[in-house]
């Protein structure tokens, strides 16, 4: 992740450069959509959430600190949009089976993981998806404005909670 270049692009975009906005968006779009998809479990919702998040993020670039990594900041917005979208859907997640891994066991795992991820707090969701999207602990720490040790421990707790929720679901399914 080229955070410094992201910062330059963000600075240019908020001055009205459509080209900079385009480049910054293209750089982050694939991962952002994956994050939205994994948070919602639905292709349609992922489209809706990622569009809403990109609109909010680029309209709100004035509030982005260009010294910090763009991706985790964007992820936090995606998390909020996903929660809004899911609450509008009354938590009935429309899962697109075709996009899930082929084996049956894998489908179950994917569903469980999406549910477990949705059960985390917004901050923990942001940390986990940023981690899975390839951001380092240092970048996550910068985006949260906390020391690296704090980010590390929050990530560990978030992953532990995710696994714990998965185990609980396993028990529920027995």
Partner 1 sequence: MSDLELQSWFDDVAVPEGTVDMLASVAREAVRPFVRARRRRRAMVAAVATALAAATAAVAYELLDDDGLSVPAGPPPARVARLESPLLSKLPWLFQPSGAPRIDEVPEQPSLAFPAGTSYGEAVTRLFETVTGEGALPEEATLERALPVGVVAELGGAGRGIRIDLRAPWGYDLPAGRISAPGFIVDPGVPAEQIRKVLAGLQSGALPVGRLPKGIRVEVPRLAACQVMRPGVARTPCRLERGGGAAP
Q: Looking at 16-24, 77-85, 118-126, 148-156, which segment touches partner 1 (CB under 8 A)?
A: 16-24
71, 26 contact by CB (below 8 A): no
- 58: buried, middle or exposed (CB in 10 Å: 19+, 13-18, 0-12)? middle
* Binds partner 1 by CB under 8 A, chosen from 59, 88, 138, 157: 59
Residues 6+ apart with CB under 8 A from 5: none
Task: Note whether 150 binds partner 1 by CB under 8 A.
Answer: no
| Numbers of helices and strands, H then E, in the chain | 8, 0
| Residue 59, helix vs strand vs coil | helix
Task: Note whether 107 binds partner 1 by CB under 8 A.
Answer: no
Task: Note whether 37 binds partner 1 by CB under 8 A.
Answer: yes
Structure tokens at 2: 């080229």
Task: Note whether 138 binds partner 1 by CB under 8 A.
Answer: no
Q: How many residues bind partner 1 (CB under 8 A)?
A: 46
**Of 90 and 103, which has the nearer Cβ to partner 1?**
103
Minimum separation from the CB atom of position 21 to partner 1 (A): 4
> Could you give the CA distance from residue 152 to residue 145 in angstroms, rounded to a whole number?
13
Structure tokens at 56: 């909010």
* Binds partner 1 by CB under 8 A, chosen from 88, 138, 157, 163: 163
Cα Rg of the chain (Å, integer) = 16
> Could you give the CA distance from residue 37 to residue 50 in angstroms, rounded to a whole number?
9
* Binds partner 1 by CB under 8 A, chosen from 7, 21, 120, 154: 21
Task: Note whether 13 binds partner 1 by CB under 8 A.
Answer: yes
Task: Note whether 16 binds partner 1 by CB under 8 A.
Answer: yes
Residues that bind partner 1 (CB under 8 A): 11, 13-18, 20-22, 24-26, 29-30, 32-34, 37-38, 43, 47, 50-51, 54-55, 57-59, 61-63, 65, 99-101, 109-110, 113, 129, 132-133, 159, 162-163, 166
């Amino acid at each position: 992740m080229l955070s410094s270049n992201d910062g330059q692009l963000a600075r240019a975009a908020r001055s009205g450069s459509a080209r900079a906005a385009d480049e910054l968006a293209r750089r982050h779009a694939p991962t952002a959509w994956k994050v939205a998809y994994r948070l919602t479990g639905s292709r349609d919702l992922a489209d809706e959430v990622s569009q809403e998040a990109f609109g909010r993020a680029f309209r709100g670039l004035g509030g982005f600190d260009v010294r910090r990594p763009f991706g985790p900041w964007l992820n936090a917005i995606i998390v909020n949009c996903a929660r809004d979208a899911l609450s509008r859907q009354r938590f009935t997640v429309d899962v697109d089976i075709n996009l899930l891994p082929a084996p049956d066991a894998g489908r179950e795992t994917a569903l469980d993981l999406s549910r477990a991820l949705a059960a985390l707090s917004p901050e923990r969701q942001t940390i986990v998806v940023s981690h899975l999207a390839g951001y380092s602990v240092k970048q996550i720490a910068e985006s949260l404005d906390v020391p690296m040790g704090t980010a590390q421990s929050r990530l560990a707790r978030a992953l532990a909670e995710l696994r714990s929720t998965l185990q609980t679901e396993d028990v529920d399914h027995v």
